[in-house]
Amino acid sequence: MRFVHASSAAPAESPVDTSHQCRTRRSDRTGTRRTRTTALLAVFSLIVGFAISSTSVASADPAPATPDAPSALVAYRGYNSAELAFTAGADGGAAITNYKYSTDNGSSWNAFSPAVTSSSVTIGGLTNGTTYSIKLRAVNSVGDGAVSDAVSVTPAVVDAVTWTARTAAEANSWSSVTYGNGVFVAVAYSGSNRVMTSTDGVTWTAR
């Protein structure tokens, strides 16, 4: 009779394949790195985009605006006219193309024709002896600018053609007279005070 002895050793276990676990861990790590890289790229893109946008906004030229008001208006009366000297305001970023004036304190406006773009300007068609409240504004491609303060002027009632004898300030031999900037100036060739002035051609003052 033959006896078969059973081995007391435990049966050998089948080897465990752990390669897929390693691959899974490597895949997880790779996926995590890719996710982080994608997130960093997204943040970087946002930063770069914001920087470019900010630079574009900062470097863009501001839109032009209407001109500022003229200032320091001075009116000189003429015959049926008035001459205005002034200091131009800022043009608002677009060149001044003309000026408009009002002779009724801003109720109505007229553009100069032909156009004028600097001081001084002459307003015609006025009535001698009538006082006008004149305002001025500049015009550019955007539109009408801010309005200046008013200045009053009364055109001369003399025409420098018809003359009337008046009492002179000095008993001199007066030889000539001229008019400019709202003032008459007479000059003599004899006497102590050889110059006299008048704003209306009637009342004269020795100088």
Residues 6+ apart with CB under 8 A from 176: 186, 187
- As to burial, measured by CB atoms within 10 angstroms (0-12 exposed, 13-18 middle, 19+ buried), residue 38 is exposed
Which range of 95-99, 117-121, 171-175 scores highest in mean pLDDT? It is 95-99
pLDDT in tens, 82-94: 999 999 999 999 9
Q: Give the predicted TM-score (pTM) of the model.
A: 0.53
SS3 53: helix
Ordered structural domains, the chain, with CATH: 71-153 (2.60.40.10), 158-207 (no CATH)
Q: Which of 131, 185, 186 is nearest to 156 (CA)?
A: 131
pLDDT in tens, 154-170: 997 766 676 777 777 77
Q: In what order do the strands lie in the sheet with 121-123?
A: 71-78, 81-87, 121-123
